[in-house]
Structure formats: structure tokens, C-alpha cells
Structure 1
Amino acid sequence: MVEVLLLVGIVVALFVGFNIGGATTGPAFGPAVGADAISKTVAAGLMAVFFFVGAWTIGRRVVDTLGSELFTDATVLTMESSIVVLFFIGGALFLGNYYGVPASTSMTAVGALGGLGVATGTLDWAVMGGIAIWWIVAPIVGFWISGMIGRYLYPRINELVAITTTEGALFRIDHSGVIPRPVAGPNTTRREVIGGVVVIAIGCLMAFSSGTSNIANAIAPLVGAGADINMMILLGCGAVAVGAFTIARRTLDTLGNDITDLPLTAAIVVAIISSTIVIGLSIIGIPASFVIIATTSIVGLGWGRATRTTALPEVVRGEESPNVSVGALAAEDPGEEVPEIGEEEPAEIPSAADLFDPATTGRVIVMQNVVPLLSTIGAYGTFALLFQFWW
């Protein structure tokens, strides 16, 4: 009976890992894919490799933490309860991936585990409260830093970096030799190559960070119930790789193109801000809401650039006119050609609609709150109903 339950648990854990790959590949490599630095296939391969490295090294520590510290009585994680928790984690994440919105795996997993803890009276509220506070603060910090950079500093950064997106992909695979190797595209400049390497490297760092925290979301309940941690890490990372190569294509589109057009300079800004916040949270031991921070950073940069102000000299009784908003400028001259986002000269300002898509942003924000809520309520309701039979 135990072997059958373990097999069922592994299948459910693989389903969770599959959806983690779909949910976290977009935030890590969406900026690079949106900037045509790499293809979706290459992004998936890099995600699989660096996720595994993070999971195998630091990730096992997070597995131990998530499987015990959230509860005042760790024995509440039986094989049966772990399967139910993983079912709600995987189901909720699948819903987000189906709609092309990368939900936070950390919030979804901790929510389901929290539902178990509340229903059984074993949740450590001090640990949960500390995590929840940082989950609220970190995305706000990412949004406002990105927003302020987009609103006030982006033209200067773009001029300084001077990375423009030329026609075609940044890199291509050269098959002329015995071993295929990546080379610069036919129209790629040296600065563009450097920028592409930087944004890809940061994506790899974010994939590594995702592995250190998100592998626990797929396997911690089973490891807490007695499964071998090394075996579960290998199986979980394999499932993440499958998700990265398949369902992640939807989230790559959402974060790379649909929320805001993302050229190379913008991609670098977003990646640096979000990865810095994630690393900072990891240093102090907080399971980072990787997806939410990256998404709000992208949204913040698009919003900041869409609301950027500029001073227009207007001779009115010898005085200059006050600053006016981008929306007002667009309304003044609706037929004016809008430059590509991130490629405009510092004095040129594209319209708000080209920089920031409120409809897509609203869908992302709603789903990223609904998905963890579903896993929490579902787990709590189930365990509250079955508590009298199990304990």
C-alpha cells in the first residue's frame, strides 16, 4: 500500500514540476526571448540545466525547510496528505499556465501547505507571517524601482548602453564544424552581442535561483513524508525540463511580448532588478516569489515609460509650458509614427498604448492572485473536511 501511495505521489509531484517549468521559464528568459537574444527552445534548455544546478546544490536546504519549519508538528505531512497538497499545487499552477500567466510557485505551494497547517492546527504563524510580509514588499519594490527608472532614467540608460535591436536573431547556430556552436547573427553589432550575453547570463542566474527555491514546491511534501531526496530532485528537475520545453511557450510570449514591447536595454534593466531582489531575499532565507517580482518589474518599467513626462518649450508670454504627460502628447499628434520601444532617441516619446498593455497586465495580476488562492482554499477545505478521519 505504501509503494502504491508513493507512486501516486511521484506522479503528482511530476505534474507539479511540469507546471513549475511552465511558470518559471517565462520570468527568467522572457526578456531574452522578447529581445530576440535567444529562441524559446534555447531558453528551455538553459532553464533545465541551471534549474537542476540550483536544485541539486542549495535547493535541498529549502526542501528541508519547507517540509518542516512551516509546521509546529512535522508529522502532519503523511504520504496521503502530501499527495493532496501536491494535487492542489499542480492543479492551480496548471490553470495559470493554461491562460498563459506564470503564477508564483512559491505562493501556490506555501498556500497549499498553509491550508493543511490551518486545518490541522499545526501552522507556525510566525514563519508564515515573515514570509508573507516579504512577498508583499518585494514586488512593490521591484515595480517602483523599475517604474522610476522607466519614467526618469531610461532614455539616458538607453543612450549610454546604446544597444539597438537589428534585423534578425542576435545569435545563430553554426553547423559547419564537427560541433555546432553559437555565433553572432549576420546583422548583429558588437554592443548588441555583449548586451545579449548579459541578459542571457542574468536569465541563467534567475533559473539557478528558481531551482534553489522552487524544487521544494514540487518535492518537499513527499520528502517530508519519507521519500528519498536525491531521487525526488532528479525526477522533479526532469519534469521541470519537460514543462520548460512545452507549456512554457505561453508564458514566454506573455512576459516577452504581450505586456510591453521589450528591447534589449529594457530586458537587461528588468533582469538586473528582479534577479537582485530574488538573490537578496534568498540571502536572508525567504522563499522568493520569483515570478511575481519579475512580472511586476516588467510591468513597472512599461508603466514608467508610458507615463514619462517631458518639457515642451511653448512661447506663452515668454514662459515655457509645464510638463505634460505622454498620453496628452499622443492625443496631440495621433498620426505620428511611434518608434520601437527602447529604441527611441531620448527626446522621442512613444505612445502609452505601445509601451504598456493594461488589459494583459490586468489579466496577469488577477490570475497571479487567483492561482495561489485556489490552492490555499482547496487544501484547507479538503483537510478541514477529512481531518476527523486522518488524525
Structure 2
Amino acid sequence: MAALLLAVGVLVAAFVGYNIGGSSTGVAFGPAVGSKVVTKLGAAVLMSVFALLGGWTIGRNVISTMGGEIVPSSEFTLPASVGVLFFVGVALLVSNRYGVPASTSMTAVGSIAGLGAATGTLHMATMGRIVSAWVVAPVLAFWICAVVGRYAYPYLDAFFRLDVPEKGLLVWDDAGPIDYPVGTNENATARQFVAAFLVVAIGCYMAFSAGASNAANAVAPLVGGGYLSASVGVLLAGVAIAVGAFTIARRTLDTVGNDLTDLPLLAALVVEVVSASLITALSVLGIPASLAVSATMCIVGLGWGRATRTVRANDALRGEESAPIAMGSLAEEQADDPRDVPRIGEEDPDDLAAADLFDPAAVGRVVILWVLTPSVAAAASFALFSLTSVVR
């Protein structure tokens, strides 16, 4: 009976990892796919490799936290582990069904917290540390990108001029079942190839950070209970994430690459570097955190900071009237030379309002599911372990 239950637990863990791959791939490679730098198949391959690398290295710290510091390891009996993972998987499946990148870490922690609350074993100090990070990380992501947007973005854009040809950098042969490159776009420049390399490289960095943070969400209860070693657990999570990246990730790639935002490459690089760095740092500390939340707050912060260049700080403090700040701040044409960039307060508000930074409906859908998925997981977990004696 125990062997059968363990098999069920492994299957449920694989199901969770599958959904993690579906949601995280869009966050990591949506900008690269949306700008036609890589294909969806290429994104899946890169996600599989770098997510496994992140889980194998830094991810062990997060597994340790989720497998024994939120609730004692002794609480992760086989039935309890299966129950926790089941609620995580169901919540994530609902999120992926609507094509948005879910907050996997928040959902997993919510399920474990529901177990701890029901059994009276929840470590409040650990939960306080995790929840504090959940509040601080998005705020920090917003303000870092807001500062970059206000003071550095137009100069970076004028200096690097990152873009790609409308038809992409490579010529693809799509006659067979798998597309493969057969040449390069004759109109592509060396600078555009550098831009493509950067956006793919940083997408890989995001995949690494996603694996570091999210591998634990699939296997921490089984590892914490001693049913799998940490290495076997990471391998199981890595394979399951890869399956999700090759299948259901296609919809979240469309959401992040097209629906959520139409970012130019430089903006995508800024968002990816800041969000991945925050999540990697938290993973080193053993704190599970949401890459999706941080990435979206980076997008909003970068656009807001860029839009505030129409107003000088001194003028705002004196209460002088100025044009309203609009959230259409990254896609307009910039100066060709850093020396030609208008100073703060000299930007034309009409230029900054030329294009919308993000689709409010898409962002609202994402935010609702960020709140809904961990709440459903925590409530269902608490109800199950309160009303049954399965963990006793």
C-alpha cells in the first residue's frame, strides 16, 4: 500500500512540475518568442536545460525551506504530501487553463501553510520571513525599474539601439515536422545579432532562476518526508518541467510575448535581468518567491519611470502643473545618440503616450489569478487536513 501511495505521490509531483513548466516558460522566454528571436520549440529546449541547472544548484536551498521549515518534516506523511501536491497541481492547472503565468511558489507555500494551520505545526517565523519577501520583492522590482526608466533607459536605448528585423534574424525551413534554420536574414545587422544573443542569454538566466525557485514546489513534501532524495527530487522536477515547457507552455508564451506587453528588446532585457536577479537572490536564501509577480512589477515600474521624465522633481515638489503622466513610455522612437536625449522635464508627453505599455485587461487577469490560486490551495488544504485524520 505504501509503495502504491508513493507512486501516486510521484505522479502528482510530476503533474505539478508539468504545470510549472507551462507557466514559467512563458515568463522566461515570452519576450524572446514575441520578438521572434527564438521559436517556441527553442524556448522549450532552453527552459528544460536551465531550469534543471537552477534546481540542481540553488534550488536545494528552497527545497530545504519548503520541506521542513514551514512545517516540520514529520508532517509530510505520504497522504499529506500527496494532498498538498494535489492542491498545488489543481490550482496551477486552473491558472494555465486561462493562459497566464501562475504564482507557483505562492500556491505551493499556501498549500503547505494550510497543512500547518490545520495540524497546529505552522512555523510562523518562517512564514513571516517568506511573506515579507513576497511584499518586498515586487516593490523592490518596481522601484529599481522605475529608477532605470526615469534616469537611464533613454540613454541605454540611444546607445545600444536594440532591435530585430520584422521577419526575424534567421531564415527557417518549415517544410518538415520541426522548423530549423537554413540561413540568416540578409537585412540583419551585427548589432541585431548581439541583441538577439542578449535577450536569449538573459531568458536562460530567467529559466535558471525559475528552476532554482520552483523545483521545490513540485517535490519538497516528498523530499522533506524522506521519500525521495534531494537529487532524485530535482531530476523528477526537471523532467516534469521540461514536459510542460514542450506542451502547455505555448499558451503562456503567447500571453507574455503578445497579450501582456509589447516590449522592445531593451526593455525586455531590463525586466528579465532585474526580476531574475531578485528571484535568484531569494532562492540563495532559501525563500520561495514568484518570478511572474516580479517580472510584471518590473514591466510596470519601467514604464512608469520612463513616463515620469516629463516632470522634474523640483517642479512636482513646488506643485507646478504639468502634463499628466501616461503609461505609454517605452515603444516610441528614441534619440540616435545619447547626447541627443532630452533632459528630464523636456520630454514631450505626447511622444511618451504614443503606445500603451501593457494591456490592462491581461494584467488584471494575471493579478486575479495570483491571488486566487494560492488562496484556493490554502483553503482546500486546510479544509482537508482539518476534517480528516489523514496526517495523524
- The residue aligned with 1:14 is 14
2:26–2:256 contact (8 Å) kept in structure 1: yes
Please list the CA deviations of residues 201-226 of structure 1 after superposition, one character each: whole Å capped at 9, or x if unmatched: 11111211221221111011112233
- The residue aligned with 1:361 is 363
- The residue aligned with 1:162 is 161
- The residue aligned with 2:301 is 300
Please list the CA deviations of residues 2-61 of structure 1 after superposition, one character each: whole Å capped at 9, or x if unmatched: 111011111111110110001111111122222222122111110001111222233234
Distance apart, 1:256 and its partner CA: 1.8
Distance apart, 1:304 and its partner CA: 4.0
Moved more, 226-235 or 106-115: 226-235
User: 2 CA distance for matches of 1:189 and 1:339?
Assistant: 26
Distance apart, 1:62 and its partner CA: 2.8
Distance apart, 1:85 and its partner CA: 0.3
174 and 251 in structure 1: CA distance in 2 versus 1, 3 angstrom threshold: closer
Correspondences of 1:31-42 after superposition (within 5 Å): 31-42=31-42
Distance apart, 1:243 and its partner CA: 0.8
- TM-score norm. by structure 1 comes to 0.86
1:255–1:295 contact (8 Å) kept in structure 2: no
- The residue aligned with 2:195 is 195
User: 1 CA distance for matches of 2:64 and 2:183?
Assistant: 42
Distance apart, 1:355 and its partner CA: 2.1
- The residue aligned with 2:126 is 127
Find out whether 1:309 has 2:299 as its counterpart.
no
- The residue aligned with 1:316 is none
Correspondences of 1:207-356 after superposition (within 5 Å): 207-229=207-229, 230-305=231-306, 309=310, 323-325=322-324, 327=326, 341=331, 343-345=333-335, 349-351=351-353, 354-356=356-358
- The residue aligned with 2:67 is 67
User: 2 CA distance for matches of 1:303 and 1:123?
Assistant: 39
User: 2 CA distance for matches of 1:100 and 1:305?
Assistant: 29
Aligned residues: 367
Distance apart, 1:300 and its partner CA: 2.5
User: 1 CA distance for matches of 2:236 and 2:282?
Assistant: 27
Please list the CA deviations of residues 263-283 of structure 1 after superposition, one character each: whole Å capped at 9, or x if unmatched: 111111111111222233233
User: 1 CA distance for matches of 2:261 and 2:309?
Assistant: 15
- The residue aligned with 2:177 is none
1:59–1:212 contact (8 Å) kept in structure 2: yes
User: 2 CA distance for matches of 1:340 and 1:283?
Assistant: 32
2:388 to 379, 386, 389: 386
* One-letter identity of the residue aligned with 1:294: A
2:170–2:181 contact (8 Å) kept in structure 1: no
1:151–1:305 contact (8 Å) kept in structure 2: yes
2:163–2:195 contact (8 Å) kept in structure 1: no
User: 1 CA distance for matches of 2:132 and 2:24?
Assistant: 22
Please give the root-mean-square deviation of Cα atoms over the aligned residues, in Å: 2.6
User: 1 CA distance for matches of 2:280 and 2:236?
Assistant: 25
Correspondences of 1:54-203 after superposition (within 5 Å): 54-71=54-71, 73-172=72-171, 184-203=184-203
1:195–1:268 contact (8 Å) kept in structure 2: no
User: 2 CA distance for matches of 1:376 and 1:352?
Assistant: 43
* One-letter identity of the residue aligned with 2:34: G
Distance apart, 1:110 and its partner CA: 0.9
- The residue aligned with 1:333 is none
Distance apart, 1:151 and its partner CA: 4.3
User: 2 CA distance for matches of 1:140 and 1:185?
Assistant: 41
Please list the CA deviations of residues 274-309 of structure 1 after superposition, one character each: whole Å capped at 9, or x if unmatched: 122223323333223222111221233344445652
Please list the CA deviations of residues 328-357 of structure 1 after superposition, one character each: whole Å capped at 9, or x if unmatched: xx9xxxxxxx99915444667253653232
State the identity as a percent. 49
* One-letter identity of the residue aligned with 2:113: G
User: 2 CA distance for matches of 1:306 and 1:352?
Assistant: 11
307 and 370 in structure 1: CA distance in 2 versus 1, 3 angstrom threshold: farther
User: 1 CA distance for matches of 2:215 and 2:363?
Assistant: 27
1:105–1:214 contact (8 Å) kept in structure 2: yes
User: 2 CA distance for matches of 1:367 and 1:307?
Assistant: 29
* One-letter identity of the residue aligned with 2:362: T
276 and 361 in structure 1: CA distance in 2 versus 1, 3 angstrom threshold: same
1:22–1:246 contact (8 Å) kept in structure 2: yes
User: 2 CA distance for matches of 1:169 and 1:276?
Assistant: 28
83 and 227 in structure 1: CA distance in 2 versus 1, 3 angstrom threshold: same
148 and 371 in structure 1: CA distance in 2 versus 1, 3 angstrom threshold: same
User: 2 CA distance for matches of 1:107 and 1:340?
Assistant: 30
Gaps of 5+ in 1: 312-320, 331-337
User: 1 CA distance for matches of 2:118 and 2:210?
Assistant: 29
Gaps of 5+ in 2: 175-179, 313-319, 336-340, 342-346
